[in-house]
Chain A
Amino acid sequence: MHQSQSNSSPALPLSDLPGPDVAIRRLKHPGRWISGGLVILLLAVIGRAFAVGQIQWTVVGEFLTAGVIITGFGWTLLISACALVLGVLLGFAFGVMRLSENPILRFAAWLYVWIFRGTPVLLQLLIWFNIALVFPKLYIPGLIDARMVDVVTPFVAAVLGLGVNEGSYLTEVVRGGIASVDKGQKEAAHTLGMTPSQTMRRIILPQTLRLILPVLGNSAIGMLKFSSLAATIAMGEMLNAAQRIYFINGAVIELLFVCAVWYLAGTTVLSIGQYYLERHFGRDAAMTTTERRWFKGWAQRPAVSREA
């Protein structure tokens, strides 16, 4: 006979076993209460510091809905949206090229990623903004003949700079997405007689899109924030508008906080949108996204409470 016996408690004889309805007392977690209390204390200290610090909260409230700020936020949204669309288009185009049978196309896509992912986006913005120094005139026979400074306005430079840079990241993402679509999908399409371009457009890319959707959501959020870099090339987006105001009235930190509030509002809305978009596109997958809740552990408690 084999008898296991823990060394802390004496052996439990069968005659002492309780009935099936015996009550269960859960393990206490005093450590959780202590760490939770410490964090609340810390938050309170930080909160109080800002409350009594040299910030005029009334000014923050006042400028939160100022016309210049709202207009600036509008530009921020517009730049982000245009740059994201450009980035996605470039990402898909170069991502497909990266997997081309043609080595020259593959090399071109690699070169694009190498250059634009390998240099800072702020530098790229400045180069686009000053591109007229390299090419004074933009001349495409029968299409465009104009001075470069008139074509590349701060807005165009911002969209090009941010979009082309984002495209270089998305190229790698799209390439990975395409590569991870099961090879059998392509074979099935070929045996039905679909050409390579039909297979790519109708079978591979739709499935790639679903795979890379979480990344695209992060791109959108990142883009909203990176658009603030356009302030440095005289683009009148929100941060630039805030700077112009505080150069006059000196309320530097107040106006920066105004920007922070709007950026947070924007990224929050995008995060919620991302959650629903992923859930929508995940409907045909094995329903994996439904288990990843956005407000995990907050709005959604697990149905069965588990004690660790």
Chain B
Amino acid sequence: MTLAVKAVGIRKSFGSHEVLKGLDLEVAYGEVLCILGPSGSGKSTFLRCINHLETPNGGYVWVDGAIMGYDLARGALQELPVKRLRAQQSQLGMVFQHFNLFAHRTVLGNVIEGPMIVRGLSRTEAEARAMALLDQVGMAAKASSYPSQLSGGQKQRVAIARALAMEPRVMLFDEPTSALDPELVGEVLEVMRNLARGGTTMIVVTHEIGFAREVADRVVVMIDGEIRENGAPQQVLSNPGDPRVRTFLSRVLA
């Protein structure tokens, strides 16, 4: 088991409100980890700390042999220049709750943007790869549409293709189905299920207990900025030790 991500003592506060109270987490390559928890428990903030969309106030994240945002020099963490931080961030694919597709670009334009601008691929090569990815998520037919012409589920599938186009080591999903109409949730979960089967390392913040039970290798339950449960889905979801986790699960499973 090779580690892909190791979070060490992550703390984050917004003003005087402490959102994350020192979290530790390890994710191995090929593993699918689902993070569950009630609203406001800090799970999205934790995910955003992992790829430094939010800078932690304390602790650090190690990804694939490097500390996110820092160099370890003479026993201290030296902040990296923004260009090197971005290079690290591009190793972590991110899928947002609200898709965040580039509104002024077509579906294809969204997917080729990163590979062309950040990785320096030629347009021909970037487009060929993008079309393969769009085919994989079932969106090849919409390559020349604009995001405003797509349904939520279609947007999210394009967003997944856009993140995959950077060939990231790990895929992060921030409540990918929470903004979708109920009948569109299935198509996005199907794409994610296929990714998991293909061996993609995934950290998924979600409310979909069924997805976690079926797809996840491990489930983490966060409550009030702390990890309360961390284990196999069967064990965590069926027989949680922590009383507050029991309360949370009984509410969402009801």
Contact = CB atoms under 8 A, between A and B. Distances in A.
B138 interface: no
Contacts of B90: 191-193
A193 B113 contact: no
A283 B53 contact: no
A205 B98 CA distance: 21
Interface stretch (A149-157, A196-204, A291-299): A196-204
A190 interface: yes
Nearest to B93: A191
Given A187-B53, A202-B113, A193 B103 contact: no
A104 interface: no
B82 A195 contact: yes
A192 B100 contact: no
B23 to A, nearest CB: 20
A307 interface: no
Interface in B141-156: 146-148
Contact of B89 (A184, A191, A198, A284): A191
Contact of B92 (A187, A188, A191): A191
B117 A284 contact: no
B89 A285 contact: no
Contacts of B51: 191
Contact of A193 (B86, B100, B104): B86
A290 interface: no
Contacts of A283: 146
B25 interface: no
Given A191-B94, A193-B114, A207-B104, A284 B146 contact: yes
Contacts, number: 80
Given A195-B82, A284-B103, A284-B148, A187 B96 contact: yes
Nearest to A198: B117
A287 B82 CA distance: 36
Main secondary structure of the interface of A (DSSP, over half): helix
B86 A188 contact: no
Contact of B117 (A182, A188, A202): A202
B157 interface: no
B219 interface: no
A104 B104 CA distance: 32
B191 to A, nearest CB: 18
A198 B96 CA distance: 20
Interface string B165-202: 01000000000000000000000000000000000000
Contacts of A203: 102, 104
Interface string B101-122: 1111100000001100111000
A189 B114 CA distance: 8
A185 B100 CA distance: 5
Given A187-B53, A192-B114, A194-B113, 9 more contacts: A189-B113, A190-B53, A192-B90, A192-B117, A192-B166, A193-B114, A195-B83, A207-B103, A284-B105
Please list the 4 inter-chain residue pairs (A to B) with the smallest Cβ-Cβ separation, ordered nearest first: A193-B90, A192-B114, A184-B100, A191-B94
30 contacts: A184-B99, A185-B100, A185-B102, A185-B103, A187-B53, A187-B94, A188-B100, A188-B102, A188-B159, A189-B113, A191-B51, A191-B53, A191-B163, A192-B114, A192-B117, A192-B118, A193-B87, A193-B114, A193-B119, A194-B113, A195-B83, A198-B118, A203-B102, A206-B104, A207-B103, A283-B146, A284-B103, A284-B104, A284-B146, A284-B148
Interface of A: 182, 184-185, 187-196, 198, 202-203, 206-207, 210, 283-287
